[in-house]
Chain A
């Protein structure tokens, strides 16, 4: 079965603390994974893709096929990072996880 699991509904940290948003997937083929972000009152937008191996707004995510994970990390959280984060598996359509709300307190 094709599935994306985000075990945390809410993650709260203080500004400057490290952040890790967890994502695990189930997929029989070669996976392609994305992280999407939705800031308050804004539309869903792509944050990063694993194939790009890029760092966007200080966030990185590494695909670990052995652990079937694609956790999103940032070493020092900022208040403006507060948002909903969705992990998504790319098949011919996107399969999204249930999302994690990140709250960064000052």
Chain B
């Protein structure tokens, strides 16, 4: 496909379960971001990859959150022992540009809506 693809589209988890969210960026895009969007809020930065290197993980809310991009393309965001406050839409975005120009041309996926019961 031509755009950023995220799966699953919806995920329901019981509190305490581990979940894995997948992002397929646009082919060849070097930069990849994860954002978290809680209900009624704007997206909030979680982490940034340049190729396979995780250059910024300052936005990850706790050590239960882990992201990887081992081959510099597909990325997975893993949340261990999910809590109700983790319920949100998780957005992935990619860019062919690198800092400081990354955000000049950023493409977002449709997101994964995570509901923790």
Contacts and interface: CB of A to CB of B under 8 A. Distances in A.
Nearest to A34: B103
Contact of A43 (B41, B48, B110): B110
Instruction: Give chain B's interface residue range (CB within 8 Å of chain A).
Output: 20 to 34
Interface of A: 4, 6, 9, 34, 43-46, 49, 86, 88, 90, 92-99
Interface of B: 3-4, 33, 35, 40-45, 48, 56, 59, 91, 99-100, 102-106, 108-111
Contacts of A49: 104
7 contacts: A6-B42, A43-B3, A43-B109, A49-B104, A93-B59, A94-B43, A98-B42
B48 A93 contact: yes
Contacts of A44: 43, 91, 108
Contact of B106 (A4, A94, A95, A98): A94
Contacts of B40: 9, 98
A92 B56 CA distance: 10
Contacts of B44: 96
